[in-house]
């Protein structure tokens, strides 16, 4: 059983055990406080009946015009609470806030190409891989989830979905992304 509620300042003093995971980024206090102050609707925590922090999600909404979108900055679940659909719930919550409250066109996120558990989880909640960025030390995959309001901005083909270039700026042409069965309705 878990309670999902808004993240509060005092949670910053209680979430260290969740952040011990090497795949979870730990930022400085001012970074978290900025997110809390600017995008409080995008920062949620899952708490156990014994008030232990089970996991959290933090994100933001940004962009202009048709690139107005939600972004997942971090999502993490403590090892002892994994595979209970907690991340799934947190992701759906952020997606719903971006969609219903902020009328975002899509939600995006970056994930290390080697982080298979996270990639599987993102694909399960209908995020689609769109771009691979190679940095010096590792590769990052860009995943996006399109909202219904930009349905005229893409076309479903036999090979997958073609998204028009505004998603990542004019320097890149059309992206071809693959869709999993059952995820078409999200696009």
Ligand X SMILES: CC(C)(COP(=O)(O)OP(=O)(O)OC[C@H]1O[C@@H](n2cnc3c(N)ncnc32)[C@H](O)[C@@H]1OP(=O)(O)O)[C@@H](O)C(=O)NCCC(=O)NCCS
- Which residues are at the interface with ligand X (CB under 6 A)? 21, 23-24, 75-77, 82-88, 111, 115, 117-118, 120-121, 124
Q: How far is the CB of 162 from ligand X (least distance, A)?
A: 25
DSSP class of residue 98?
A: I
Beta carbon nearer to ligand X, 164 or 179: 179
Instruction: Name the residue nearer to ligand X (CB basis): 67 or 115.
Output: 115
**Which residues, 6 or more positions from 24, have their beta carbon under 8 angstroms from its beta carbon?**
18, 74, 76
Q: Decide if 32 contacts 12 (C-beta within 8 A).
A: yes
What are the structure tokens assigned to 130, written together? 């769109």
Q: Please state the closest distance from residue 63 (CB atom) to ligand X, in A.
A: 20
What is the smallest separation between the CB atom of 24 and ligand X, expressed in angstroms? 5
What is the rounded distance in angstroms from the CA atom of residue 127 to the CA atom of residue 26? 24
**CB nearer ligand X, residue 113 or residue 162:** 113
| Shortest distance in whole angstroms from residue 121 CB to ligand X | 3
Residue 44, token pair as written in the block: 């949620």
Output the smallest distance, CB 120 to ligand X, in A: 4
H-helix or E-strand spanning residue 19: helix 16-19
Between 36 and 78, name the residue whose CB sits nearer to ligand X: 78
User: What is the edge-to-edge ordering of all strands in the sheet holding 43-47?
Assistant: 3-6, 43-47, 53-62, 69-77, 106-112, 139-146, 128-134
**Residue 88: count of CB within 10 angstroms of its CB:** 16
Smaller CB separation from ligand X, 64 or 185: 185
State in Å, rounded, how far the first CA of the chain is from the last one: 31
């Amino acid at each position: 059983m878990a309670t999902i509620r808004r993240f509060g300042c005092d949670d910053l003093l209680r979430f260290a055990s969740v952040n011990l995971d090497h795949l979870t980024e730990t930022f400085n206090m001012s970074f978290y406080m900025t997110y809390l102050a600017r995008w409080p609707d995008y920062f949620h925590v899952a708490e156990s009946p014994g008030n232990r922090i089970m996991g959290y999600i933090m994100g933001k909404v940004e962009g202009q015009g048709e690139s107005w979108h939600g972004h997942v900055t971090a999502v993490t679940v403590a090892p002892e609470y994994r595979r209970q659909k907690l991340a799934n719930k947190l992701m759906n919550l952020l997606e719903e806030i971006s969609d219903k409250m902020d009328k975002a066109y899509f939600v995006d996120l970056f994930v290390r190409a080697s982080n298979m558990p996270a990639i599987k989880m993102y694909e399960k909640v209908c995020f689609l891989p769109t771009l691979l960025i190679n940095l010096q030390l590792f590769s990052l995959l860009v995943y996006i989830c399109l909202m219904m309001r930009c349905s005229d901005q893409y076309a479903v083909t036999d090979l997958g979905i073609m998204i028009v270039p505004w998603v990542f700026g004019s320097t890149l042409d059309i992206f071809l992304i693959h869709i999993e069965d059952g995820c078409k309705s999200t696009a």
